[in-house]
């Protein structure tokens, strides 16, 4: 049976094969994760629509494939692909599209719909053919790691399925020294396919060593989006300094109260609240350009993306309805979004619908940033570290907590003066603590 890449979220046209979670010959059950796929919105695991044996993988890790393209084939017990031709009366029938915001459920629903549309019999797990045994992918991997031959194992599970306990019993038997050495050594199958090849020392003295790794996955997606934004949008960045002394004091108060309620309060909620009020005064910054229709789209809602550093690369989850949340509610939602992003659990809903973006290096440092706009948005705010600096107030040199703020703008839509006035108003909102209310945790 052909297994096609399902639609993962509305408007998805293609996906990149990030990682195969099964191999040819693996026996899978319903809902067993088959493959990790990345779209321009999210990365999800696609589950199996039913039990069967993997006969063929038709896409390699790193390939970008269209929705509806065959990416793998399920076979019968002998490894031959299951015929996929539908009954004559079903020829030409197009499956009903499935639209859902939950990407994993969408994948499962589309796959099952294709099975039902073909009106095939219930897909039963095939009996093993000659030289093949019943086992799960995890058991097969364990056997490879231990150097054990599955065909030599008498399965104790239902239908002769080889269990982990069967491998343990086989391993506990007397093994020849040479076999033991082979079993303890890592096999080629145990090395991930995506692992980089170690650089080999050069025979020529003075030559540099090199290492090449595949440029794919989230890193490639980030590169494509940033290159598109840089190519399409004529950026300009305006920087202003801000006296954050009052915000530092207000945040210290909120941090203590929040800690008592299990809420981690950072500086980000205060900057986001100031962004909302400043954008309300300058709505052009909360818009986007529909180039196809030649229209500016003003957004009367405030969904701010939060640039988040993860082990896989930059992810931008979106905090919805910032104007309706108080400082503690914002802090709780920021923590949830950042945690999910770092753990690779962001939902499609959490990664879409942004109207403006904020990025902060405050926990690292820095005095200046020129962030790249998250296309098709119009503006992005960059926040650097808050540090004590000597400044002049009323003719006197005093120590204040200062921070530099940068706003990058789409010069097609926002001119220099409006951008500077926006930043002036945002700074004024941050410097007056009476304009920031904490609310209730």
User: What residues are annotated to the active site?
Assistant: 411
Distance CA 168, CA 344 (A): 34
Residue of 391, 222, 394, 389 whose CA lies nearest to 310: 222
Say what angle helices 245-260 and 327-342 make with each other, to 10 degrees.
80
Peptide bond into 376 cis (omega under 30): yes
Distance CA 268, CA 333 (A): 11
Q: In this structure, how many other beta carbons lie within 10 angstroms of the beta carbon of residue 63?
A: 13
∠ Cα 379 380 383 (to 5°): 145
Rounded-to-5 percentages of helix, strand, coil across the chain: 35, 25, 45
- Could you tell me how many residues make up the chain? 441
Question: Mind giving me the DSSP string for 247-263?
Answer: HHHHHHHHHHHHHHTT-
Label residue 82 exposed, middle or buried (CB < 10 Å: 0-12, 13-18, 19+).
middle
Label residue 176 exposed, middle or buried (CB < 10 Å: 0-12, 13-18, 19+).
exposed
**CA-based radius of gyration for the chain:** 28
- In whole angstroms, what separates CA 34 from the centre of its chain? 18
């Amino acid at each position: 049976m052909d297994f096609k890449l399902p639609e993962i979220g509305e408007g998805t046209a293609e996906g990149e094969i990030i990682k195969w979670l099964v191999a040819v010959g693996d026996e899978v059950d319903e809902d067993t994760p088959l493959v990790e796929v990345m779209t321009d919105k999210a990365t999800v695991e696609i589950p199996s629509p039913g039990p069967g044996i993997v006969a063929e993988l038709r896409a390699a890790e790193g390939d970008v494939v269209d929705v509806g393209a065959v990416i793998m084939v399920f076979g019968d017990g002998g490894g031959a692909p299951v015929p996929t031709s539908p009954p004559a009366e079903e020829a030409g029938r197009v499956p009903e599209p499935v639209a859902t915001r939950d990407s994993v459920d969408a994948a499962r629903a589309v796959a099952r719909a294709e099975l039902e549309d073909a009106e095939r019999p219930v897909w039963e797990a095939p009996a093993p053919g000659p030289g093949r045994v019943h086992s799960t992918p995890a058991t097969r991997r364990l056997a490879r790691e231990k150097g054990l031959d599955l065909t030599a194992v008498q399965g104790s599970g239902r239908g002769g399925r080889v269990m982990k306990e069967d491998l343990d019993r086989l391993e506990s038997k007397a093994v020849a020294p040479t076999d033991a050495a082979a079993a303890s050594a890592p096999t080629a199958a145990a090395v991930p396919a995506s692992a980089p090849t170690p650089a080999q020392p050069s025979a020529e003295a003075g030559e540099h060593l090199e290492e090449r790794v595949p440029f794919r996955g989230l890193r490639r997606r980030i590169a494509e989006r940033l290159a598109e934004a840089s190519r399409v949008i004529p950026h300009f960045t305006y920087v202003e300094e801000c006296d954050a002394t009052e915000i530092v004091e207000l945040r210290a108060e909120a941090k203590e109260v929040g800690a008592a309620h299990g809420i981690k309060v950072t500086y980000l909620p205060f900057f986001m609240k100031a962004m909302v009020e400043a954008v309300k005064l300058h709505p052009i910054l909360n818009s986007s350009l529909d180039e196809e229709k030649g229209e500016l789209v003003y957004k009367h809602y405030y969904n701010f993306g939060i640039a988040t550093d993860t082990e896989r690369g930059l992810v931008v989850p979106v905090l919805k309805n910032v104007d309706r949340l108080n400082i503690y509610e914002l802090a709780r939602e920021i923590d949830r979004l950042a945690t999910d992003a770092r753990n690779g659990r962001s939902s499609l809903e959490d990664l879409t619908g942004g109207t403006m973006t904020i990025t902060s290096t405050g926990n690292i440092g820095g005095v200046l940033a020129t962030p790249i706009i998250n296309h098709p948005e119009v503006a992005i705010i960059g926040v650097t570290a808050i540090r004590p600096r000597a400044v002049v107030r009323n003719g006197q040199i005093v120590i204040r907590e200062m921070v530099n703020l940068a706003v990058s703008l789409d010069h097609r839509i926002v001119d220099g003066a409006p951008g500077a006035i926006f930043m002036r108003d945002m700074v004024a909102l941050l410097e007056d603590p009476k304009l920031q209310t904490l609310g209730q945790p």
